[in-house]
Structure 1
Amino acid sequence: MPTGRRTGPAGSARRTTAASALGGVLLVGALAGCGGDGGQDTGTPARTDTPRTPNASSFSGELPSALASSASAAVSSASVSASAAASSASARASEFEASVEAETQRRNAAAEKELKKVRGRGNALAEVGMTGIPRAETGGILAVRVTITNKTDSEASYAVQVDFKNADGKVVETRYAAAERLRPGKKEQPIVFSHQPPEPRLTPVLAKAQRY
């Protein structure tokens, strides 16, 4: 009779059972290796540390110092910006004042040029009036407000001459005023200043007024 090892369904079943048993042993060993201290599983869940508030005394102080420096820099920057804005505003005001003065001088020069062509006292005396300004409001300077009113029905320009006379009636100083492209019914009120000393006192006189 043959003596070789039998193979068949029964032998295969025994080999499968043995392999399963061996796999179970290996799995248990692996789990034991992942256990707690000394490789023993205590059966308690892993401990999770609760976050704690840091000890304030452990900080070096560099952070507050950095914040203080940043705040100081911001304040300095704001101060510089404010100073620059004030300086800029002052410069713009000076430029505007200079431009107004330049425009006044230009108008007065144009009025003087126009009046040199006029014989007599001009054609617009009835459209020009003068009002004295109190010296208390001008720092002691002699000044008059010239009111120029366009009483015609057409746009017009005006040239005015004001003479400052002394007590003897002599003309000591002559100044000019102007209104350009004045619409019908509208008026302008330029101010004429004397450049002479407060004494002796002078009297302003409307010398000429020309509409053109």
Structure 2
Amino acid sequence: MNPTTARAGRAASAAAAVVVTALGAVGLVSCDTGNDDTGGTAVSERPTAPDTAGFSGELPSSVASSGAAAVESARASASSAAASASAREAERKASIGAEVERTRKEAEDELEDVKAPGNALNEVAMTGKPRADTGGVLTVVLNITNKTDEEASYAVQVDFLDPSGKVVETQFTGVEDLGPGERQQPLVISRQPSEPVLTPRLTKAQRY
């Protein structure tokens, strides 16, 4: 055999072996993708950093508008609730005032033809509230107790006297449908100035 031809054949065989070896290595790498703990270190892709060039640091206008609208709605709701509470309180006070006036007028009418002291003076006691607790207003607490065996209503007259003993103010109050042994404590409030100091007097008490 020609030596030159032999050397060319050996070179071709060696080149083919190198190619086969390389292809085998590639096959091994591509097949080793399972969860084989005996394999080499897994290769993962590096995360891509966000593009901050378009960040302005401010909320989008649509989000900002929605937030402002929500805040304004909450303020409006709070304002409406406060107004409703104020209206209810005003109604409550008006209702109490109307009831006090009705009771006062009924007691005054009941006592119109009654001579002092009436038939129930021993069922009514009178005490004063400290002026420090009433803002300086003269206020009397009546303790009306039904000492009978039947339900009864009471009308009471309280006079306020000045230092000379002159009656300068008269107030009426009462309670209705008081059961046997029951007690109520209505208030009688003077509308006179704090000076001169007045003295309250239990003038009439009528059970009816």
TM over 0.5, yes or no? Answer: yes
Aligned-residue Cα RMSD (Å) equals 2.0
TM-aligned CA deviation for residue 117 of structure 1: 2.1
- Name 1:153's counterpart in structure 2: 149
Q: Aligned pairs, how many?
A: 161
Q: Is 2:81 the partner of 1:85?
A: yes
Query: 3-state SS of the aligned residue for 1:147?
Result: strand
Amino acid at match of 1:204: P
Deviation sequence 1:31-55 (CA, Å, 0-9, x none): xxxxxxxxxxxxxxxxxxxxx9985
- Name 2:105's counterpart in structure 1: 109
Return the index of the structure with the highest Cα Rg.
1
Identity of aligned residues (%): 60
Candidates 166, 185, 198, aligned match of 1:170: 166
Q: What is the distance in 2 between the residues matched to 1:93 and 1:147?
A: 28
Matches within 5 A, 1:5-154: 57=53, 64-154=60-150
Query: 3-state SS of the aligned residue for 1:199?
Result: coil
- Is the contact between residue 142 and residue 187 of structure 2 (CA under 8 Å) also seen in structure 1? yes
Q: What is the distance in 2 between the residues matched to 1:188 and 1:65?
A: 65
Unaligned runs of 5+ in 2: 1-47
Amino acid at match of 1:132: G
Deviation sequence 1:11-48 (CA, Å, 0-9, x none): xxxxxxxxxxxxxxxxxxxxxxxxxxxxxxxxxxxxxx
Query: 3-state SS of the aligned residue for 1:101?
Result: helix
Q: Is 2:175 the partner of 1:179?
A: yes
Q: What is the distance in 2 between the residues matched to 1:131 and 1:195?
A: 17
Q: Per the alignment, do residues 70 and 161 of structure 1 end up closer, same or farther by CA in structure 2, a change over 3 Å counting?
A: same
Query: 3-state SS of the aligned residue for 1:119?
Result: coil
Q: What is the distance in 2 between the residues matched to 1:175 and 1:163?
A: 6
- Name 1:190's counterpart in structure 2: 186
TM-aligned CA deviation for residue 118 of structure 1: 1.0
Amino acid at match of 1:126: N
- Name 1:13's counterpart in structure 2: none
TM-aligned CA deviation for residue 64 of structure 1: 2.1
Runs of 4+ in 1 over 3 A off after TM superposition: 52-63
Deviation sequence 1:118-146 (CA, Å, 0-9, x none): 12311111111111111111111111111
Unaligned runs of 5+ in 1: 1-51
Q: What is the distance in 1 between the residues matched to 2:107 and 2:163?
A: 27
- Is the contact between residue 116 and residue 203 of structure 2 (CA under 8 Å) also seen in structure 1? no
- Is the contact between residue 121 and residue 206 of structure 2 (CA under 8 Å) also seen in structure 1? yes
